[in-house]
Amino acid sequence: MLRLMHPFSAQPNEGVGLYILWTVAVLFVIFKLLAPAKCDLPTVNGRRRFEIGQYQARRRFALDGRGIILNGLRKARAFRVVSQKGPKIILGPEFADEVKSHPACNADVFIAKEFHAHVSGFEVLRPQQVMKDAIRLKLTRSIGVLMKPMSAETALILETQWGNSDCWHELDLKSTIASLVSRVSAVMFVGEELGRDQKWLSIVTNYSSDMFVADLDLCKWPEALRPIATYFLSSCGKLRRHIREAALMLDPILSERYSAPHNKHNFLDWFEEVAGGRKYNPVLAQLSLAAAAIDTTSDLIIQTLTDICRFRDSGKLQQDLREEMVRVLRADGWEKSAMYNLKLLDSVLKETQRVKPVVVFGMGRYVTEQMTLHDGTVIPQGETINVVNTRVWDSAVYPNPLEWDPYRFVRRRDSGDHAAHLVSPTPDHMGFGLGKHSCPGRFFAATKIKILLCHILLKYDVKISDEASSTVVSSGNFLFPDATLSFCVRRRQDNLTIWG
């Protein structure tokens, strides 16, 4: 975590070959500095006087990315920033609808370039249509069938990890939620045998976290040298090792599954069914699923529990949530209708995602040909653009925008606002993206999160120690929950648990 927050700290000596690469890199940087700029938009955090290269500019962005973006928006609606990952064009939220459907804006190419999908160790991040089809055609349509198994798995994990003591005891919230989310997801994705295997869970969890560190390490190198630099960076070597270990565990299961009939169905089968003869790598697909399922889901659960505990009338809010859960689960059980009717819980989650989104800007696109925006701004071919998600803090859209109001979206929903649902992205709230490239797994993620929180709040009292003060941690474009909070739980004794 420290390396992710402070990616420009000194790195250990990683071999003579690294020095050779650095020599080539210096020459490459000099050439880039002398080359003309591709776009005349202003840069809000460029090099200062006497600075050589972009090292200091990148470091400043790593330490205060949100502040730099907000400062840039006060000066212009389209501008450049020098991020940890290099120069980017940032657009104001008014461009969201235009960018989401513009034919010159390519999301897949952006992802491939942004996350080095052509580089060894990062193959997991190559866009795979087979995976998108499996999520859309199989996972989303199977949510109703998966709800009871997810509930049962959650109950098993909480019984083991959180226990039944009616005395307050402290938990490491970050690690326990990550463990809960990764195992529930894994059992749904690969089945109970592998999904409960601690070695498999360690691989998929560590790949996801190690990828962020390796990404920042690789971004210190010129793009043209990254396919070579990856072999000299220990952080990138970890990714390749995770992929090899995942293959060793998954391949025997796949061989057995394909050679004999069975009646169990999960992503291992769904990939084969939707592939229709198209080539895909099931190991990379599973690691990609895990990377998408663990971090952002854990982030939202951790921040939601933090917000609930820090709310000025936390006791009443928790009681309101429990009463809704009992009422809905008694009426509907673990059915899709229950997820729709958990209106307050949905509102709480959407409000948390609004006040503390995962990123300040998103909607990344690669510009395939020169484009002109509605205000006349010209974006050259070959640029990468992002749209800010800052309307979530705009008082013209959300009254008292910096206040966490758990009932905000209940009121909006009751007044007929159909976009007030957690899974409904808009330019005013892009927690799951926007348009056809919105997160395809958001319906599954929302269901999983609600199931987990129902178990947690119905079975446990939760609190944060009185002296603790919650602080959102900013690192570049990312906003992280405070991992230092003292989170305490105790088993409830009022028999509110209704599993239908």
Residues belonging to the binding site for heme are: 439
Per DSSP, helices labelled H in 311-436 are 314-332, 336-341, 343-355, 408-414
> Hey, what are 19's tokens?
């020095």
As a whole number of angstroms, the distance between CA 373 and CA 98 comes to 8
The three-state secondary structure class of 496 is coil
Q: Which residues contact 420 (CB under 8 A, 6 or more apart)?
A: 347, 350, 409, 410, 412, 413
180 to 159, 186, 292: CA distances (angstroms): 11, 10, 15
Helices 282-310/267-275 angle, 10° precision? 130
As a whole number of angstroms, the distance between CA 42 and CA 45 comes to 9
Question: Quick count: other Cβ atoms within 10 Å of Cβ 456?
Answer: 20
Are 342 and 467 in contact, with CB atoms under 8 Å apart? no
Are 189 and 290 in contact, with CB atoms under 8 Å apart? yes
In the annotated binding site, the residues are 439
Are 291 and 445 in contact, with CB atoms under 8 Å apart? no
> Hey, what are 95's tokens?
């461009």
Distance, first Cα to last Cα, the chain? 40
